[in-house]
Amino acid sequence: MKNFLRIFLITSLVFGLSVKSNSAEKIEYLTTDWSFKGLFGKFDRGALQRGYQVYTEVCSSCHSMKYLSYRNLAEKGGPEFSIAEAKAIAASFEVTDGPNDDGEMFTRPGKLSDKFVMPYDNVKAAQAANGGAYPPDMSVLVKARGGGVDYIYSLLQGYEDPPVGMNLDDGVYYNKYMYGNKIKMANQLSDGLVEYGDGTTASVEQMSKDVTTFLMWAAEPHLESRHQMGFKAIVYLIILTILVYFSMKKIWSRIETEI
């Protein structure tokens, strides 16, 4: 044990030194009281529904969400719109279907089983419309960025005037949380940009929080059942472990030895 502690000290010292030499580049992300963190974390239904509104009215003109279907909006553990609401949302989009019996493609109102409509036909079209930068698909975006939800939440609020002496090209913006500080997406959010149906004030901070919550759900649609099942599984395992521990003690008591 003593040796173990000694080694532990040496290693942590080495790690500590190297972390220290590294810390200058690290930036602290903004964070907020995410309802979905922790052992019993659940999504805030209101935030998910508001977040969906921000996504549709603001983000979806450039960012696709190709792994989501309109049916997901009514599923348990998600924004939980009623089936009727989700159907109405789906129907508000024009979906290209086909070919029909004449061999023609046609458009029709969306159905629950349709995937979210893509803003562009393909990656090249998306790049052409956005100065060469591809607005990433948002389905798993939260999991595809190192800082996760805090990173997205910070980035949305991280627009500032560039420091003196920094020249930005046309269509490039300064964001203090972006890797390299240069981002091709302009600041999208401004106070009162959307009008929330539930009367919540649409501040930049509120919208960032709501849309980030929505993105977290989009990336982990089964997060709630994962947390619930996890708690049950771990409680079950702990009880079983205790029972097995006492059985073990009993069985080994036949032998004259410690265990």
Partner 1 sequence: MSDHEYTPKSKFGKWFNDRLPLLTLASHLTDYPTPKNLNYWWTFGGILTFCLITQIVTGLVLAMHYIAHADMAFDSVEHIMRNVNYGWLIRYIHANGASMFFLAVYIHIFRSLFYGSYKSPREIIWIIGIIIYLLMMAAAFLGYVLPWGQMSFWGATVITNLFSAIPLVGEGIVTWLWGGYSVDNPTLTRFFTLHYLIPFLILGLVVLHIWALHVPGNNNPVGIDIKKPSKDTVPFHPYIVIKDGFALLMFMIVFAFFVFYTPNILGHADNYIEANPLVTPAHIVPEWYLLPFYAILRSVPDKLLGVVAMLSAILILAALPWLDTSKIRSAVFRPLYRQFYWILVADVLILGYVGAMPAEGLYLLVARVATAYYFLHFLVVLPILGYKEKTLPVPLSITEPVLGGSPNLALAKNKENFKD
Residue 46 vs 136, nearer CB to partner 1 = 136
User: Residues 173 to 202: which contact partner 1 by CB under 8 A?
Assistant: 179
- State the minimum distance, in angstroms, from the CB of residue 127 to partner 1: 12
The stretches of the chain forming alpha helices (DSSP H) are: 2-22, 45-57, 83-91, 123-129, 148-156, 204-219, 223-252
Cα 119 from Cα 123, distance rounded (Å): 10
Residue 7 vs 83, nearer CB to partner 1 = 7
Residue 76 binding partner 1, by CB under 8 A: no
Q: Which of 157, 159, 212, 148 is nearest to 182 (CA)?
A: 159
- State the minimum distance, in angstroms, from the CB of residue 92 to partner 1: 23
Cα 92 from Cα 118, distance rounded (Å): 14
Residue 112 vs 204, nearer CB to partner 1 = 112
Residue 233 binding partner 1, by CB under 8 A: yes
Counted residue by residue, the chain has a size of: 259
Under 8 Å between Cβ of 197 and 134: no
Tokens standing for residue 72: 């997901």
Burial of 223 (0-12, 13-18, 19+ CB in 10 A): middle
Residue 4 binding partner 1, by CB under 8 A: yes
Residue 27 binding partner 1, by CB under 8 A: no
Burial of 96 (0-12, 13-18, 19+ CB in 10 A): exposed
CA atoms within 13 A on the CB side of 91: 6
Residue with tokens 């086909």: 98
Choose which of 23, 113, 167, 257 interacts with partner 1 (CB under 8 A): 257
User: Residues 107 to 166: which contact partner 1 by CB under 8 A?
Assistant: 136, 139-140, 143-146, 148
Residue 11 vs 31, nearer CB to partner 1 = 11
Residue 190 vs 247, nearer CB to partner 1 = 247
Residue 88 binding partner 1, by CB under 8 A: no
Tokens standing for residue 13: 């010292």
In the complex, the residues that contact partner 1 under the rule CB under 8 A are 1-4, 6-7, 10-11, 14-15, 18, 21-22, 39, 67, 72, 136, 139-140, 143-146, 148, 179, 219, 221-222, 226-227, 229-231, 233-234, 237-238, 240-241, 244-245, 247-248, 251-252, 255-259
